[in-house]
Chain A
Amino acid sequence: MLKPMRKIFFIPFFLISANFFAQSPMNSQEAAALKTLVKTRAATTKTITSDFTQSKHLDFLDNDVVTKGQLAFKSPNLIKWSYVDPFKYSVIFKNETLYINDEGNKSNIDIGSNQMFKQLNKLIINSIKGDMFDDETFSIEYFKNDHSSLVQFASKDKKLSKYISAFHITFNSNGDVEQVKMIEPSGDYTKIVFSNRVLNNSINEAVFSN
């Protein structure tokens, strides 16, 4: 238990500490500059390979469920997520089909008729590149700290917001995506942190076949 006098000192110190690490809102020029940087970067991105760590946060759990793997992206719309730890699972998004390899068991899912899935797929592609600056679909807020920028895309679309209420994307100073956080209406979220990200290296087409 803190004594009252100590509390008086401790609380302001805590608030200052919290504020020190917090993001502050960008002004409109800073927001416009970031948007231009990310859009230019996205337009010139032909391929991405990256390691990723995915954390599934469920409020009732003590620890997030952490999975790791590699991402391969080829413009305009080929993506492969390969999970390697703690299980082997890969999914390729190609045309209107998902090609799944679940520890050797291969299967396909046709998403052509599922508008919601198609929209989510498009958003995932856009979020990898960071280019989600669509004011029709999202209300967008910009934040910054010393090292990175954070853009919060809150879903305006009622159908989409049943699944994901907001995307929070963190960019480094080059305009590359460092982290994507997809937040559900309940507050539970999926966070994907990218590392060893390499842009525009050639990727063999065979990577995207199951």
Chain B
Amino acid sequence: MKLFFLISFSLLILGCGSYPKKQGFKLDTTSQRTLVNPYFSNNEIDYVYKAKIEVYDRQFGGLLIIKKINGLEHRVAFTTEMGNKLFDFSFSQNDFKVNYIVDDFDKGLLIKILKQDFKTLITESLSNEMFYKNNFQNVHETTLYNKKHFYFFDIGKLVKINRVKGTKEKVSFIFSDISDSIAKQIEIIHYNIQLKITLKSIK
């Protein structure tokens, strides 16, 4: 019986270990830090990406179009290559609106997944809750729609965002081919469902 409690207690302790600790991040409290996601923040740019979406055994493509409007709102629309609009969302600080969605995409769970992914992509200013060092990277911890997010900066460039639950990574946003605050290549990889979105800038 004692052994049972000991094992349970040990598992509980291990299970509760934090993501930063498990990853070997070193906490840094030496100075105040600010956290900014620079991508999609310029309201003079129309951000247009060729998108490839792999969901379970299906694959389809289209164009993902993102625009910051009036400094307060982002529009995120998806069309086929031939121009048919599949969805059009509006994001503001605390609001989300579906302006249009085709019937085939009008599913609660799908909208929730897309809403969370795009909210992470476009949210600019975040509160820095913790700051860590990870080898050569700076790692910021924050909370977005009540979920823990870790932002990885490599020589000042945001290269990855991990959405985390407990010690497990649920979604990774990987930014590459970065110049002038534009990530020309973005991958959104879900680990708990078979969903991968690959974005390649065409503008």
Contact surface of A with B, Cβ cutoff 8 Å:
54, 56, 58, 60-63, 65, 67, 81, 83, 86-87, 89, 91, 100, 102, 105, 107, 163, 182, 184, 186, 188, 190
Flag whether B85 is at the interface (Cβ < 8 A).
Answer: yes
Contact pick for A60, options B67, B82, B100, CB 8 Å: B67
Cα distance A162–B61 in the bound complex, in angstroms: 22
B203–A60 CB distance below 8 A: no
B69–A60 CB distance below 8 A: yes
- Contact A86-B203, Cβ < 8 Å, known A56-B79, A60-B75, A102-B52: yes
Main secondary structure of the interface of A (DSSP, over half): strand
Cα distance A29–B150 in the bound complex, in angstroms: 69
A186–B81 CB distance below 8 A: no
B202–A62 CB distance below 8 A: no
Per the 8 Å Cβ criterion, residues 158-186 of B in contact with A are: none
Flag whether B63 is at the interface (Cβ < 8 A).
Answer: yes
Contact pick for B50, options A60, A61, A81, A87, CB 8 Å: A87
Cα distance A62–B67 in the bound complex, in angstroms: 9
> Closest B-chain residue to A56, C-beta based?
B83
B44–A62 CB distance below 8 A: yes
Per the 8 Å Cβ criterion, residues 11-59 of B in contact with A are: 44, 46, 48, 50, 52, 59
Q: List 12 A-B contacts (CB under 8 A).
A: A58-B77, A60-B75, A60-B77, A61-B67, A81-B82, A87-B81, A89-B81, A105-B59, A107-B59, A163-B84, A182-B83, A186-B99
Cα distance A83–B82 in the bound complex, in angstroms: 9
A65–B82 CB distance below 8 A: no
CB distance from B187 to the nearest CB of A (A): 16
Against A, the Cβ 8 Å flags (1 = close, 0 = not) of B184-203 are 00000000000000001011
Chain A hits for B99, CB < 8 A: 186
Cα distance A184–B85 in the bound complex, in angstroms: 9
Chain B hits for A190, CB < 8 A: 82-84
B46–A83 CB distance below 8 A: no
A89–B61 CB distance below 8 A: yes
> Closest A-chain residue to B46, C-beta based?
A61
CB distance from A49 to the nearest CB of B (A): 18
Per the 8 Å Cβ criterion, residues 85-128 of B in contact with A are: 85, 88, 99-100, 102
B46–A63 CB distance below 8 A: yes
A65–B100 CB distance below 8 A: no
